Amino acid sequence: MKKNVILAILCILLFAFSVLAAPPPPAGSSNQVPTASGGAVPVLKSDLSVDSISLNKPIKEGDTVGGSTAAIKVKNFGPGSAHDFTVKITCTAIRGIVPSGLAVIEKKYTQVLSANGQLDITWPPTSGAKWGVGDYRILVEVKSDRDKNPQNNAKYFAFKVAPAVPTAIKVTSPNGGEVLYKGKTYNVTWTYTGNPNVPVKIALVASNNLSNVYVISENAPLGQNGSGSFSWKVSSSIERRNDYKIWIGNGSYTADFIDTSDNNFTVSEFVY
């Protein structure tokens, strides 16, 4: 009985040793992770992929849709031919309004794309619609029932539509020399040019201590016809200083849409 147990244990140990000492499987065997030169794991591309998207020229406010176009390249990275696929282009506005007819455009293609073949698509189609100021994004998707590896079948592309007239903003009040009292209400005023189509951020900053910042408004309305204002009640918690300025600009901190008071003004206690 004991001899049989000992023999069984020896057999198990010999089998385990033979497995550990066995040479690695030959290159190309089914249980080996494929690697490119240098040992890197290759990136597998889908049969049909959105290879690239590029805009031929900047778009400005008032431009006719189709006057400036995006070149979209769809490529077949698979080993065989591809056909009967659909390209869907979805346009969304991060800020602004998508022109009529551009929200979703979907088209089916029956042409054959051989291996490494490429399809060139121009977007958007020409129409009578106009672009408005804003930030836009398109999503291009390729759909095919024959696609065996749908990894890179979609790509995003973002672009801006700039104002036709250059934008600028100018603080007009308080602009220097004023004395503002805590607890009192004042109008912060400004003028602007162009059509930036954004709310403005207003802050109180100390010229001699840039870390001393008091946000008056995060999203004040821009205004109308080139001018705007915001009613501001000076908080009692604001430190008394004579080196304050108003900072005004948009949330993106665009260089040409920022201004401060020309000179310092004072915030003081109200004396009854």
Q: What is the pLDDT of residues 173-184, one digit of tens each?
A: 999 999 999 999
The answer to whether 59 touches 134, Cβ cutoff 8 Å, is no
Per-residue pLDDT, 181: 96
Q: Is the pLDDT score of 152 beyond 50?
A: yes
Q: 85 pairs with which residues across the strands?
A: 109
Whole-Å CA distances, 103 to 21, 154, 158, 265? 63, 16, 14, 49
Interval 163-174 mean pLDDT: 90
- Residues 185-242 have pLDDT tens digits of 999 999 999 877 788 999 999 998 878 899 999 999 999 999 999 999 999 999 999 9
Cβ neighbours, 10 Å, residue 260: 17
What residues form DSSP beta bridges with 231?
A: 187
- φ, ψ of residue 178 to 5 degrees: the values are -75, 160
Residues of the chain with CATH 2.60.40.2840: 168-268
Of all residues in the chain, what percent carry a pLDDT higher than 90? 59
Q: Which of 145 and 164 is assigned the larger pLDDT? A: 164
CA nearest to 69, candidates 118, 131, 1:
131
CATH class of 168-268: mainly beta
Share of the chain above pLDDT 70, in %: 78
More confident of the two residues 94 and 39: 94
Please list the residue range(s) of the chain that carry CATH number 2.60.40.10. Answer: 48-162
Q: Read off the pLDDT band of 2 (50, 70, 90).
A: very low
- Higher-confidence position of 91 and 257: 91
Kindly report the CATH number that applies to the domain delimited by 48-162: 2.60.40.10
Answer whether 244's CB lies under 8 Å from 264's CB: yes
The larger pLDDT score, comparing residue 77 to residue 145, is at 77
Q: Decide which of 238 and 152 is more confident.
A: 238
Query: Is the separation of the CB atoms in 50 and 140 below 8 Å?
Result: yes
